[in-house]
Amino acid sequence: MSSETSTPYTPASTSTSVAGNETVSLADEIKKYDTAKLIDFLQERDLGLSETAIKILEKEEIDGRAFLKLTKDEFRSVGLGLGPAVKLADFAKECKDKKLRAFSTYRSLKEVLKKYGIDSNGTETIPLFSLQTHEIQDSNKHFKHCIENILFRMKHYGSLVVDSLESMRNEYVSTILHTSLHIAGDVTRKEFSMRPEFEIIGEESSGRVDYAIKESENLICVTEDKVQRNILEGYAQNIKQLESSYETNKRKRKRDDDDFDYLYGIVTTARDWHFLLYSPGEISQASELPLAIEFNKKALDTDSEEYKTLRSGVKKVLGMIVGMIIDRACVEDEPDRKRSRIEGYRTKK
């Protein structure tokens, strides 16, 4: 993990919307791919392409748009064997026919929860999970830097309120997430990356998540940044994002006994932070009420109660996020314990 502790502003937005249509064509997404991204996409689908076949695609500079137009005979004409040529031509046809629903079109939480046997349009009936959070020390250099960053921004932005601009909220969210990665990296000695506006393509849904946190090639956490009035939409969309992220991870796994997976989700308004746990066929939340950070401009006075409240809120949120990242990253070292670990986190209401 790098020792650099700066937290540059990285703008994020809600998932890509589809005006007048609830589905997007997978082919339209593939057309945007350059050769490198196309190859990554094909390898994720586990088509069994050999290194020789991959090198031919690279040499011929076949990008997404070309891939969709090529026939079996044209694939063979550039040197691909009959097997990979048939696979690629058939898969290209499947991609052209496939429609995916955009994450941003999921606005009904009740619709999404129905899949999990939960008949509700609210969050109160979502089961709970309990995770050991990470204790953030006052002396932690990343925590200190995080508070400095927040105060620096608050000096110019003022207090964060319900109708604050999205770009303002994004800066606070980005700062919290970057800090979490630094602390988790120091604890685990693992490398984490955070990708804003990260595209995920699942079996049913696709789109961009506001932030994706990865360890190695595995997605471990995705974040949906919402304004307060859209928090239920945020839950619905984050659950669909987690489903698709799970599918993305599964396509990359080679061992049958390592198929079980779980991921964490975050839905936040910058002020309120909600945490989700997803495993196949199950969804749960950390608490019925969010963890809150009060971005009150009075906190600029470091002797004030508002300053103490700010620090306390940031500590709690960081502790939860860091705990989730450490848990999800370290479980890769003991994959056989994944199921038992998840069962231990589930609690009864």
Q: How confident is residue 20, by pLDDT bands cut at 50, 70 and 90?
A: very low
% of the chain with per-residue pLDDT over 90: 68
Which tokens belong to 185?
């990296």
Q: Is the pTM of the predicted complex or chain greater than 0.75? A: yes
**Is 304's pLDDT higher than 70?**
yes
Q: Please give the pLDDT value at position 36.
A: 92
List, as own/partner pairs, every contact residues 28-31 make where C-beta atoms lie below 8 angstroms and the sequence separation is at least 24, other chains included.
Answer: 29/100, 29/199, 29/201, 29/206, 30/64, 30/65, 30/67, 30/68, 30/95, 31/64, 31/65, 31/68
Which H, E and C letters describe 143-155, residue by residue? HHHHHHHHHHHHH
Q: How confident is residue 270, by pLDDT bands cut at 50, 70 and 90?
A: very high
Which tokens belong to 277?
């746990």
**Is 43's pLDDT higher than 50?**
yes
Cβ atoms of 194 and 212 closer than 8 Å: yes
Among 30-44, 51-65, 174-188, whose mean pLDDT is lowest?
Answer: 30-44
**Is 154's pLDDT higher than 80?**
yes
**What mean pLDDT value characterizes the chain?**
88
Name the one residue in this structure whose structure tokens are 């974040």. Answer: 223
The more confidently predicted of residues 318 and 37 is 318
pLDDT mean over 236-248: 94
Q: Give the SS3 label for residue 330.
A: helix
pLDDT mean over 202-213: 92
Q: How far is CA 279 from the centre of its chain?
A: 14
**Is 71's pLDDT higher than 70?**
yes
Q: How confident is residue 38, by pLDDT bands cut at 50, 70 and 90?
A: very high
Q: Please give the pLDDT value at position 264.
A: 97
- By CB neighbour count within 10 A (0-12 exposed, 13-18 middle, 19+ buried), where does 301 fall? exposed
Q: Give the SS3 label for residue 227.
A: coil
pLDDT in tens, 4-16: 333 333 333 333 3
The more confidently predicted of residues 29 and 299 is 299
Cβ atoms of 150 and 9 closer than 8 Å: no
Q: Within the chain, where are the H helices?
A: 26-30, 35-44, 51-59, 64-69, 72-77, 82-97, 109-114, 141-157, 166-188, 231-252, 305-330, 338-345
Cβ atoms of 328 and 322 closer than 8 Å: no
Q: Please give the pLDDT value at position 273.
A: 97
Which tokens belong to 303?
């002797």
**Is 254's pLDDT higher than 90?**
no
Could you state, in order of their start, the residue ranges of all structural domains in the chain?
23-102, 105-347
Q: Give the SS3 label for residue 275.
A: strand
pLDDT mean over 173-200: 95
Q: How confident is residue 319, by pLDDT bands cut at 50, 70 and 90?
A: very high
Among 16-25, 186-195, 252-261, 331-340, whose mean pLDDT is lowest?
Answer: 16-25
Q: What is the DSSP letter of 266?
A: E
Closest listed residue to residue 238, CA positions, set 215, 268, 270: 268
pLDDT mean over 173-198: 96
Q: Please give the pLDDT value at position 141.
A: 98
pLDDT mean over 213-240: 91
Give 105-347's CATH code, choosing from 2.40.50.140, 3.90.1570.30, 3.40.50.11270, 3.30.565.10.
3.90.1570.30
Q: Please give the pLDDT value at position 258.
A: 56
Q: Please give the pLDDT value at position 44.
A: 78
Q: Please give the pLDDT value at position 259.
A: 66
Q: Give the SS3 label for residue 161.
A: coil
pLDDT mean over 169-186: 96
Distance (Å, whole) CA 37 – CA 58: 11
CATH topology for 23-102 is: DNA polymerase; domain 1 (1.10.150)
Among 75-84, 129-138, 216-225, 283-292, whose mean pLDDT is lowest?
Answer: 216-225
Q: Please give the pLDDT value at position 15.
A: 33
